[in-house]
A and B are shown apart, each in its own frame.
Chain A
Amino acid sequence: MSTDKSKTNKKNIIEISKLNKWYGDFHALKNIDLEVKEGEIIVVCGPSGSGKSTLIRCVNFLEKFQEGTIVVSGTELTDDAQKIRKIRSEVAMVFQHFNLFPHLTIVDNLTLAPIWVHNETKQEAREKALKLLDRVGIKDQAEKYPNQLSGGQQQRVAIARSLCTSPKIMLFDEPTSALDPEMISEVLDVMVELASEGITMICVTHEMGFARKVANRIIFMDEGQIVEENDPDKFFNNAESERLKLFLSQILTH
């Protein structure tokens, strides 16, 4: 197992131990143990139905789990609504289908959480939102509605929206899977830039180029458990488990 030298002296921001989750009888997550250090970039991959999305959705409690513990920046996840809201204000999420609010303009999508959750004034929130939109390159679309934007632009708005509350951790749930091929790179560019700024990221993605470029660790999941965890170099060139070798051969042939 790998340890990235530059991160060893940083403290853990996410600690997942003995995590188990069932959907009815289906054992979706099996004894997951995972520690993420501050500023680390983790890529999670694996075949569909392997529990990758479920795992990261447990981190901000969009999914309930039955056994095990998750500690996010010192707060343990429980049913307590107060704690959940505290964690959600520190953990932002970007979804596969963007999930922008179609009845609000782009800038209103961004200012919603700052105004209603973090009690910022409209003016502050708006200024910050416009700065973020500028950063993801769509400032001139601020007054449009989400449906007027392309998929890639919508996803960049979604990233800007999740950055609006200055989160410590970003969760990406297959952010490029619903995009047309020519729009994938504009979203990945934004993510690469984010990664260079020291924010903690967990990305569920099949973009192996992205993984190779920015990940500190890559986690391969299959059938609800972590099969292999390695740094990018070993992951791609020296896979240990047979299942990962098979998976890589399937996705890297083209």
Chain B
Amino acid sequence: MSVYDQQATRKPPISQIGAILWLRTNLFSSWINTVLTATSLYFLYLMIPPLLDWMFFNASFSFGTINFFGFDIKFSEAMATNTNCGREGACWPYIYEKLYMYTYGFYPRTETWRPNIVFGLTASLFVIIPLIKNYKYKNRVILSMIVFYPIVSYVLISGGFGLLPIVETHQWGGLLLTLVIASVGIIVSFPIGVVLALGRQSKLRVIKLFSTLFIEFVRAVPLITILFMASFVLPLFLEPGNNSIDKLLRALVGIALFQAAYFAEVVRGGLQAIPRGQYEAADAIGLSYFQKNALIVLPQALKISIPNIVGSSISLFKDTTLVLIIGLLDMLAMVGLTTADPYWLGRETEGYVFVTIVMWVMLYSMSRYSRKLELRFNTENTN
């Protein structure tokens, strides 16, 4: 029999912690990785300095004097023009000058407060939803937001109903239009997608056949084709001279149906992950088909599908830029439109970079946000 002294606790060897360990395991773990790391660093060296030069060091920030929430911020005496900006750097005053177009399109300047409220409302939704933790009212609050948010937004943006002056859809543009198309596309297509997914699993042959045909047909066709169909072919079948169906509405219907097929497949994946026992238990306690799906199957299936639902939504968000080919002036279309202005000829690069940054900020926050949601839902039912 032996007795041992208590051992002192030590820190791990210096090569096993912190930055050195990280570098070793992530960048220099084998000679291939070392070569890849070196090559990547070389390419970054080639690309980053010129990019920084163009974006910041050689760029013009001569905005003149900007009024920022009542404070005058003076950048320069007068705003730079296209010619005195120079070609070696970005001409950010162009973006500033056209910011209105990029944000609202041809929306009347006197009515800007309306889309602004909608922007604020949208942002606050994202802030509010994670804060609702009180289980008792959670569902009611979320439900009322789902119902009221689109109605309020629609009334504000389009006007009418004797409340606000009507702003016709061809005046909508820029980020506003991008957000309208993306959010309507996502919100409208989601329930259709869920119904299609359930339909595809239905025991009723006709419903199953219809859902499968619809999903497989739409998924086999590019969005651009559907937009062309909605925009140019559909009117041929309608009564001649009858332009009562708005161009934006036609595009929205096309996009919503297109996205519904993708959501349907995403949700079907979630449905298939639900064990058969859940269906059987729901049946055994006497729930109807509708109750079974609404109370047991869908809440679980949708939770599993969150990453894919968000992924699919992000794709749709990016695909909305395709509407420029049917003449809707979304944010990307504004690049072409504003640089056709003789005063700002040749500033497409600035435009594309700007749109890229805005898109990236929005979509990256979307995916971070979904990751948060996922984690939160997960903590609810495992320890």
Q: Identify the A interface with B (CB < 8 A).
A: 60, 62, 81, 85, 88-89, 92-93, 95, 97, 99-103, 112-113, 116-117, 145-148, 161-162, 165
Contact = CB atoms under 8 A, between A and B. Distances in A.
B245 interface: no
B25 interface: no
A162 B283 CA distance: 12
Nearest to A88: B286
Interface stretch (B56-64, B288-296, B309-317): B288-296
B286 A93 contact: no
Given A97-B277, A112-B295, A116-B291, A102 B285 contact: no
Which interface class (under 10, 10 to 19, 20 to 34, 35 or more) fits B? 20 to 34
Nearest to B285: A113
B380 interface: yes
A103 B287 contact: no
Contacts of A62: 280, 283-284
Given A95-B277, A99-B277, A161 B381 contact: no
A60 B287 contact: no
B285 A112 contact: yes
A65 to B, nearest CB: 16
15 contacts: A62-B280, A88-B283, A88-B284, A88-B286, A100-B281, A101-B296, A103-B303, A103-B380, A113-B287, A117-B285, A117-B286, A145-B381, A145-B382, A148-B382, A162-B284
Contacts of B299: 103
A171 B278 CA distance: 17
Most buried by B among A89, A95, A112: A112
A146 B381 contact: yes
B288 A85 contact: yes
A95 B281 CA distance: 8
A207 B285 CA distance: 25
Contact of A162 (B278, B282, B285, B291): B285
Given A97-B277, A102-B300, A146-B381, A92 B287 contact: no
Contacts of A99: 275, 277-278, 280-281
Given A101-B281, A112-B287, 8 more contacts: A85-B286, A95-B281, A101-B278, A101-B282, A102-B381, A103-B380, A103-B381, A165-B285
Contacts of B2: none
Given A102-B300, A145-B380, A95 B285 contact: no
A116 B286 CA distance: 9
A17 to B, nearest CB: 23
A62 B287 CA distance: 13
Most buried by B among A60, A62, A99: A99
Interface in B197-247: none
Given A101-B281, A116-B291, A116-B295, A165 B381 contact: no
A117 B281 CA distance: 14
A88 B280 contact: no
A88 B382 contact: no
Given A102-B300, A103-B300, A116-B295, A89 B286 contact: yes
A80 to B, nearest CB: 13
Most buried by B among A62, A100, A101: A101
Q: Which 7 A-B pairs have the closest CB atoms?
A: A99-B281, A99-B277, A113-B285, A88-B286, A145-B381, A93-B284, A117-B286
Nearest to B277: A99
B383 interface: yes
B265 to A, nearest CB: 22
A89 B286 CA distance: 6
Contact of B285 (A88, A103, A146): A88
Most buried by B among A89, A95, A103: A103
A116 B294 CA distance: 11
Contacts of A112: 285, 287, 295
Nearest to B288: A85
Contacts of B278: 99, 101
B285 A147 contact: no
A148 B383 contact: yes
A95 B286 CA distance: 15
Nearest to B284: A93
A78 B383 CA distance: 43
A86 B65 CA distance: 76
Nearest to A145: B381
Contacts of B286: 85, 88-89, 113, 117, 165
Contacts of B280: 62, 95, 99
Most buried by B among A60, A81, A102, A165: A102
Nearest to B380: A145
Contacts of B383: 147-148
A66 B97 CA distance: 76
A60 B286 CA distance: 10
Contacts of A88: 283-286
A83 to B, nearest CB: 12
B283 A147 contact: no
